[in-house]
Structures are given as C-alpha cells and as structure tokens.
Chains A and B, each alone.
Chain A
Amino acid sequence: MRRSSLLSVSSTLKKSLTLGSLLLASVSTYTNAHPVWVLPHEFVVSSERPEWVTFDVTASHTYFNYDKGLPLHTVSIHLPDGDKQGVGSYFKGHRRSVFDLQLTQDGTYRIEGKRPPYYFTEYKAGKRDTVKRMRADKVTAAQQLPKNARDVKTYLISMTSMTFVTNNKPTNDQVEPKGKGLEIKLNVHPNDIVQGDEVEVTVLMDGQPTEGAKVEVTPGGTKYRDERGVLEFKADAEGKIRFTPEQAGPWVFYANHTAPAESKLADENYASLYMTFEVQPE
C-alpha cells in the first residue's frame, strides 16, 4: 500500500514537474527533498565587452549532475543596478533546463527561482496509516478530507533557489537580505568564498535570525565519492552557522525553516532556500 502511494506521488510529479511540485516530497518524512539548483558556468567574470554566462537548472540530489528539467518562468535575474528581468528564451530538456545571460553591467547579479507560496495538506488514512497529500489549504482540506483522516497537517510552503555571479567589481545591492522570507547573510561576498577560509552564515526569516534552522552544505562531486560529504548544522541562538570549505569548486548551501503559521489556512510555514556557490582555490 505504502509503495503504491509513493508511486502515485511520483507519477503526479512526472505529470506536472514544477519547482513547487518537486518540493511536495520534501515535507513528507517518507521521502527526500528534491534539491533545485542553478549552476552558472562561471561565477566570476572579467570582461571588457559583455560576456555570456550559461546556466543549468535542474532538480537533483546529485551535485552537480542533472536529473529533471524545470520550467523557468519563475526564475528572475536581479541586475547590479537593481533592475529585474526574466530569463527570456530557454531550453527545457528532460534532465535539465538551460538559459544564457549576457552580463551587460559590472557588479553582482542574483539569479533566483522563487516559487510563490502554496498550501499543502498531509494526513494519514486507512488501516495502514498511509500518508496522503492534497494541494489544499486547511479550510479547503477540511471540506475534502475523508472521515477517517488522522494527523492532518497543513503547510504553507515557499522555496527559493539562487546563485550569484559577479562581473568585474563585486557589488552588494543584490546580496543584502531584503527582510522578507527565508534569507541568508554571509560574512563574505558569496563570490568571495575561498578554500580554507571560514564562512559564517546567518539564517534569517523576515529579517530576524532563526535559531534552530536546519542547514546543509555540500561540495560538488557527490557522484564520485562514497561519503556524500554534507556538513549539517542547526543555526545557533543568533541564527548563525560556520563552516570552512576545504574543497574548491561549486557547492550547494541549503537551509530550511518551519514555524507555526499564524493563519487559519495552515498549521506551519515551511520555507527552504538553496544557494549554489563557488569555493575558490586560495
């Protein structure tokens, strides 16, 4: 029974694969999250004329191997001067999506895929306590739940996946937290992370440090080693975690945060954030 229920979830995923639907699974204790990451071919660019950077977007546990292509209409490019644009034309393949961006400005770009928050209800039903899921807020779910539904929990889910690229001199406008949703603040510019140097990250929710937020930091190349190599943390009382990357190359930072929802429509707010970043050699 449980197996067939998982299969039905996975076939739903196949039908409508979006940044949001991939996240459905991450709430459940029975399945794993599908990390969504954006990987530029260069994080640091020096240029006299506008240079092109190409980006791969996929949902995959394996860093950095592709698994599932995604629609990119929710991806936005935040330019150094504060402007914002979409990705324009892109390729969506079975395993990854690809777009190119010409860096016409000096400074730091933020590339961000943001899923608008949505409601999701989980409950148990049947003799075997099968976990079932429903794309509905708490009020709507209450009208649709079977009579024997137990352990009903509704989440308001939001997810962001981002990366930063710097052309010539770095700038901070697109790096500074805006005080809204789940964000991070680093003790260094995200394009200045260097092998052997300690990185301190403050996890923020609506601008406030979040004690207890879960953080995972993973170096690329997971496919080619036995140990996944993930560094796991709980944010301290100041919302901080610290790590010293020993391996140069691209990494994935992940944080999630749950908090009771002050709403009739959900029990918990569940926010997650992915950031792809590069650790430079010394």
Chain B
Amino acid sequence: MMLAAPLAPASDVVVSFSVPEFSDGPKQRPYVAIWLEKRGQKQAIRTFEVWYEDKKWLKDLRRWWRKSGRYQEDIDAITSATKPPGTYTHKYTFPKELLESGGKYALYIEAVREHGNRTLLKQPIDLSNPLPQSFELEAGKEIGPINIRLGD
C-alpha cells in the first residue's frame, strides 16, 4: 500500500477584501460582485459573490451585469444583501476542471455605490503556473485592498 500520496491542492479560492468607510455624502452601501472570466469568452464562467438590494440597479455593476447577471435565471441563488464597511474573507469553490486546465483566467471584483464611484479590479490567473498562487490588488475607491489565495 502506498504511503501518503501527495495531496491534491485545495480547489478553493479565498478572497479577502475591504469595503472602506465613506466620509462623503449619503452612506449608501456598495453593490459588489466577484466573478471569474476566461479571456475571449462572452459570458463569465462563474459568479462567486453579489451584494445588492434592488435589481433595478444591478445593471450598474456594468461588467458583471454584461458578463453574467443578465443571464442568471435565479438571481437570488447567487446574491446576498449589501454589507457595511469592514473587512470580509470569503472562500469559494474554484471549478476543479479549470484548476487542472492550465488555462488563463481572470478574477474580477466590481463595486459601485450610489452617490459614489465604480471600481473594477482584475487579477489575471495563469493556471499553467503551480499552485498555490496568491495575489494582492491595490484598493480602488469603493473596494480593496484585495488578497486572493488560490489552491492554498
């Protein structure tokens, strides 16, 4: 019997991000989306996170709405309520077949706030590189900084 076969890398992606305190104007909470795209593909591969209150304004997460939101049959299944400023660490299941594909993908984070700004952040992920991988993204006005750990 073989001893300890090497463990398959965990097929999780852990994303930590901050929603900043807003000093200016009305304190609306941002709408936030986190999702995965493959370069050149019209539709997103998977949506990991969406915070919203009213579908009427979901289109303002412009890239997410174009790449994913508008195709969703059941928006409730992938969304949750908006959240106050703070730091959040969420773990998502990364599609296992993609982890083994050696392909090139991109993780996107988009945040938009009424009376505020829109921030779109992008992290390319090259799965021909060994796991685990981790990335730091500088903060935009409405979200960040962001830490991404894949297959850790």
Contact = CB atoms under 8 A, between A and B. Distances in A.
A and B: real partners? Answer: yes
Interface residues of B, number: 15
Nearest to B120: A282
Interface in B32-67: 54-59, 62-63, 65-66
Q: Chain B binding site: helix, strand, loop or mixed by DSSP?
A: helix
A42 B57 CA distance: 12
Nearest to A194: B66
* SS of A interface (majority): loop
Interface residues of A, number: 16
Contact of A192 (B58, B66, B118): B66
Interface string A177-208: 00000000000000010100000000000000
Given A45-B59, A281-B62, A169 B120 contact: no
B71 interface: yes
Given A169-B71, A282-B120, A46 B62 contact: no
Most chain A beta-carbon contacts within 10 A, residue among B54, B58, B66, B69: B66
B27 interface: no
Given A169-B70, A170-B70, A47 B56 contact: yes
A16 interface: no
Nearest to A168: B70
A44 B59 contact: yes
Interface in A27-59: 42, 44-48, 51
B69 A280 contact: no
B56 A51 contact: yes
Contacts of B62: 44, 280-281
Given A169-B71, A282-B120, A46 B55 contact: yes
Contacts of A169: 70-71
Nearest to B54: A48
Contacts of A44: 59, 62, 65-66
Given A169-B71, A282-B120, A46 B66 contact: no
B40 to A, nearest CB: 11
Interface string A139-164: 00000000000000000000000000
Interface in B58-110: 58-59, 62-63, 65-66, 69-71
A23 B58 CA distance: 40
Interface in A264-282: 280-282
Contact of B56 (A48, A170, A280): A48
Given A169-B70, A169-B71, A46 B120 contact: no
Contacts of B65: 44, 46
Contacts of A45: 59
Contact of B63 (A47, A51, A170, A282): A282
B63 A46 contact: no
Nearest to A42: B59
Nearest to A191: B66
Given A45-B59, A47-B56, 14 more contacts: A44-B59, A44-B66, A46-B56, A46-B65, A48-B54, A48-B55, A166-B70, A169-B71, A192-B66, A194-B66, A280-B62, A280-B66, A281-B118, A282-B63
30 contacts: A42-B59, A44-B62, A44-B65, A44-B66, A45-B59, A46-B55, A46-B56, A46-B57, A46-B58, A46-B59, A46-B69, A46-B70, A47-B56, A48-B54, A48-B55, A48-B56, A51-B56, A166-B70, A168-B70, A169-B70, A169-B71, A170-B70, A192-B66, A280-B62, A280-B66, A281-B62, A281-B118, A281-B120, A282-B63, A282-B120
Interface of A: 42, 44-48, 51, 166, 168-170, 192, 194, 280-282
